[in-house]
A and B are shown apart, each in its own frame.
Chain A
C-alpha cells in the first residue's frame, strides 16, 4: 500500500463483507500534538474474541481463495512504523472499531493520499451500505453522510456516475481543506 487511504478502503471493505449497514470513517487531526487518527467503525456482525486475538497475524484469514490475509497487518504496520499505534475492538452482534494513530512529522508516516477516491470507491462497491465520513481538525469540522445524499436523491441510484462525480467534488471543495497537508 502506498497511501493510508488505500488501507482505509481495504479495512472498510471488510466492514461491508461483515454485513454492516453503516460504516463510519473518522479522521481526527491534532496538529499541535503532531498526531492524527483514522477510525473505521461499523455495525457489522463483529468478530469472536478468540479470532480477534490473532487477527493481525497475516496467516489468519476468513477467506477461502487463499491462505493469507494482509489487510489488518498492513494497516497495523502503517501506524506503528510512524511511531503511532493500532487498536481493534469488536463485539459479536454489535460491530467492530479499527483505529490507527499516526505521528504526523514522522519520516516513516505514509501520506494520507486520495481519500476522495477511497470514499467514492466504497460507495460504488455497495450502494446498500451507508458511509459517514467525518473530519475533526484544528481548522474546523465537517462530514459527508450518504444517508443525507440518498434522501435528496429520492430513488435515483447513488452509484450513478453523475452522482459519484458530484460527491467527489463535494468532498474536494467542502472537506479537503480540513485535512490538507497530510496527503
Chain B
C-alpha cells in the first residue's frame, strides 16, 4: 500500500529541483495531446501515457504534458502538438510506438520525425 508520506518525500525532492529549473526556461518543451471524444476514441489516452512513461524513463526535467480539445480534423487523431523553444510541430495518427521514437529523436536529439507530421498523411 502506498501512503501520502511517500508523496512528502517526492515534494521535498522536487522543491530542491525547482530552483535549478528556473535557469533553463529556454529549453522547455510543451506537449499537447488532443483529448476530445474523437481523440479519445482514436487512442489519445495511451499516447499521453506513453509520453509520460518515456519522459519519465529518460528523466527529462523540462517537459510539460497537457491536453487540448478538438481542432476539427478528427480523422487525423490522435494528434499531438509539440512546442520546443516556441517552435510548434504537429504530429498526427500517433501510437505509443511512434511516441517512443518522437521522444528519442525529437525531444532528446532535436530531430523532428518528419514521417509523422501533418501534411504527410497521403
Contact = CB atoms under 8 A, between A and B. Distances in A.
A32 interface: no
B23 interface: no
Contact of B63 (A9, A121, A161, A173): A161
Contacts, number: 98
Given A124-B65, A159-B64, A152 B11 contact: yes
A165 interface: yes
A166 B2 contact: yes
Contacts of A132: none
A66 B4 contact: no
Contacts of A74: 37, 41
A33 interface: no
Interface of B: 1-2, 4, 6-8, 10-11, 13-15, 18, 35-38, 40-41, 45-46, 48-49, 52, 55-56, 63-67, 69-72, 74
> Taking chain B's interface residues, is the majority helix, strand, or loop, or is none over half, making it mixed?
helix
Nearest to B65: A124
B81 to A, nearest CB: 15
Interface in A46-79: 63, 65-66, 69-71, 74
A13 B41 contact: no
Interface of A: 1, 6, 9-10, 13, 17, 63, 65-66, 69-71, 74, 114, 117-118, 120-121, 124-126, 148-149, 152-156, 159-166, 169-170, 173-174
Given A10-B37, A162-B14, A165-B56, 16 more contacts: A1-B41, A66-B70, A70-B38, A114-B45, A121-B45, A124-B48, A124-B67, A152-B11, A153-B7, A156-B10, A159-B65, A161-B65, A162-B56, A163-B14, A165-B52, A166-B10
Given A1-B40, A154-B11, A156-B11, A121 B70 contact: no
